Structure 1
Amino acid sequence: MCVFASAVWSNFEIADLDFWRGEAYTKFFDHLDAKGGFCYERWCSNTVYSIAAALLARKDEIHFFDNIGYRHKPFQHCPQGAVHSAGKCECDMIDNFDFEGWSCLPRYQRLFG
């Protein structure tokens, strides 16, 4: 129930296109496409990207951009530490989603440190 790409449906991601154009991802995508789920089940890109990243990417190839704030109503990520305290980001920490009940960030931090 966690997604890596487009975290919290923010539509923000940075990716190496070589990964998405590579043989392993292409075979994975073609397999899913043959099952018809994109059309009939409305499988979305962030879920497919996340499964692919979890299966095919190395641990050191996945990065959480903590220093970039974003809001995709009703979710909001506030940068922590120096970026926030220096006033470089307008963000109400009360609305920060990072450690709410179904946020994936705690799981990510346990796995990636």
Structure 2
Amino acid sequence: MKTKNNTTNTGKYFEQKAVAYLIENDFKIIEVNYFAKKLGEIDIIATKDDVYHFIEVKSGSGFEAVYNITQQKLHRLYRSIELYLKHKNLDVAYCIDAIIFSVEDLEYLENISL
């Protein structure tokens, strides 16, 4: 049975691996775990080629972790991004990406939507 602490530790582990992957691929990390009150968290905010990338990190074993990125999750993420951009007074090009871990395999999905 997964506990909240175990799930949190697993999430942090894969977020760290995702950050390392992004840095290796010439992304600049702006923030990790940006929390938008009442909306949720943006796992990673990074830039590359003057585009902001808001990145959701998902992991799993025995199922497709990508299916955890639901329409509801994306809707909350869009609202969190709007809040972040307003709070930082930014008018920039951006996209939502996902980094999916299946066991230890990483898949980077750029510019996702439903």
State TM-score, norm by structure 1: 0.26
Greater Cα radius of gyration, structure 1 or 2 = 1
More helix by share: 1
State TM-score, norm by structure 2: 0.25
More strand by share: 2
